[in-house]
């Protein structure tokens, strides 16, 4: 489904601040599964997702999505196949536009359109249906500007916008990290419902071991540009995962 081959990436090349994040990195992601990626701060999780999504170009290597090499496509082209939700609740939406306008924009992804004729009335029932699924009452706020929504409401909206066109791949980068624990739980549950309902292949970066186990099918731990753990979520407990994670973080201080 997604095959990452011999990926390499450094930042600040040929300066004294050069850092190598990945060197000949390989990874395969299975179709219709949710794969969680965890790992210490700064180990390259977001960089990996950014290279898949196309906001950062890899230095070398291939990114094959459904047998197509997308590695050299621009981010806007990749967005036809790939949906994204970011950590920052203002990133996946346009705060000064209404819910209806935001959903219309998401609906037109990959098409040419004019902003004046953004909203198609016949699509509104579809948006209402998607919003109702969230159970947050957003279907009654179609004309509310998104800047007036809470972080949890925005992230939930971002999620259905990213999933609306049934992307081949959904990338979630700590999309609940900015939310309070209760809201984070609600958004994670909605995430799971949505990706199961539409069978969306998902890569989810998480800082939360429990979420990683509970909401994914497979867990990958990254450290120093390598996969240091790769297990079915059923095969590992939160405690085991915490211990391995702690050891990896501790090793960083020793080495
Ligand atoms: N655009 C960039 N320019 C320079 N360094 C970067 C850039 N993006 C990320 N980095 C560095 O790359 C490393 C990995 O970052 P990142 O992928 O954001 O880590 P993670 O998401 O695992 O916390 C960090 O040391 C970070 O400072
Ligand atoms: Mg990150």
pTM of the model: 0.94
Q: Is the CB of 21 under 6 A from ligand 1?
A: yes
The atom number, within ligand 1, closest to the CA of 205 reads: 21
Using alpha carbons, select from 225, 214, 169, 207 the residue that is nearest to residue 38: 207
Mapping DSSP onto H, E and C, the string for the chain reads CEEEEEEEEEECCCCCCCEEEEEEEEEEECCCCEEEEECCCCCCHHHHHHHHHCCCCCCEEEEEECCEECCCCCHHHHCCCEEEECCCCCCCCCCCCEHHHHHHHHHCCCCCCCHHHCCCHHHHHHHHHHHHHHCCCHHHCCCCEHHHCCHHHHHHHHHHHHHCCCCCEEEEECCCCCCCHHHHHHHHHHHHHHHHHCCCEEEEECCCHHHHHHHCCEEEEEECCEEEEEEEHHHCCHHHHHHHHHHHHHHHHHC
pLDDT in tens, 101-148: 999 999 998 777 777 788 999 999 999 999 998 889 999 999 999 999
Q: Is the CB of 41 under 6 A from ligand 1?
A: yes
Q: Is the CB of 9 under 6 A from ligand 1?
A: no
pLDDT of residue 117: 82
**d(CA 18, ligand 1 centre) in Å:** 12
Q: Is the CB of 206 under 6 A from ligand 1?
A: no
Pocket mutation for ligand 1, best pick of 14, 47, 51, 52 (most atoms within 8 Å of C-beta): 47
Alpha-carbon distance of 77 to 68, in angstroms, equals 13
**d(CA 44, ligand 1 centre) in Å:** 6
The atom number, within ligand 1, closest to the CA of 43 reads: 22
**d(CA 133, ligand 1 centre) in Å:** 35
- Mean pLDDT score, 173-185: 93
pLDDT in tens, 205-246: 999 999 999 999 999 999 999 999 999 999 999 999 999 999
Check whether 254 has a pLDDT greater than 80. Answer: no
The residue nearest atom 18 of ligand 1, judged by CA position, is 46
Alpha-carbon distance of 27 to 2, in angstroms, equals 8
pLDDT of residue 116: 75
Q: Is the CB of 110 under 6 A from ligand 1?
A: no
Q: Is the CB of 42 under 6 A from ligand 1?
A: yes
Q: Is the CB of 51 under 6 A from ligand 1?
A: no
* Band of residue 191 on the pLDDT scale cut at 50, 70, 90: very high
* Band of residue 255 on the pLDDT scale cut at 50, 70, 90: low
pLDDT in tens, 71-96: 999 999 999 999 999 999 888 899 99
**d(CA 240, ligand 2 centre) in Å:** 23
The atom number, within ligand 1, closest to the CA of 56 reads: 1
pLDDT in tens, 9-61: 999 999 999 999 999 999 999 999 999 999 999 999 999 999 999 999 999 99
């Amino acid at each position: 489904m997604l095959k990452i081959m011999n990926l390499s990436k450094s930042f600040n090349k040929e300066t004294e601040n050069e850092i190598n994040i990945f060197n000949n990195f390989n990874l395969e992601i299975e179709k219709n599964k949710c794969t969680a990626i965890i790992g210490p701060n700064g180990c390259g999780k977001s960089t990996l997702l950014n290279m898949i999504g196309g906001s950062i170009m890899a230095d070398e290597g291939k990114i094959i999505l459904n047998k197509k090499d997308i590695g050299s496509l621009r981010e806007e082209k990749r967005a036809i196949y790939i949906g994204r939700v970011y950590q920052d609740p203002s990133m996946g939406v346009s705060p000064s536009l209404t819910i209806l306008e935001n959903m219309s924009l998401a609906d037109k992804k990959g098409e040419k359109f004019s902003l004046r004729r953004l909203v198609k009335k016949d699509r509104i029932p579809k948006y209402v249906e998607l919003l109702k699924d969230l159970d947050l009452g957003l279907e009654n706020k179609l004309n509310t500007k998104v800047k007036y929504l809470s972080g949890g409401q925005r992230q939930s909206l971002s999620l259905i916008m990213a999933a609306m066109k049934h992307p081949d791949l959904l990338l979630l980068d700590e999309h609940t990290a900015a939310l309070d624990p209760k809201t984070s739980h609600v958004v994670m549950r909605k995430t799971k419902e949505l990706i199961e309902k539409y069978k969306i292949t998902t890569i989810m970066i998480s800082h939360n071991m429990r979420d990683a186990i509970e909401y994914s099918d497979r867990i990958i731990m990254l450290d120093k540009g390598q996969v240091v753990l790769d297990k079915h979520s059923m095969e590992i407990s939160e405690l085991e995962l915490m211990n391995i994670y702690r050891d990896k973080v501790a090793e960083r201080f020793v080495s």
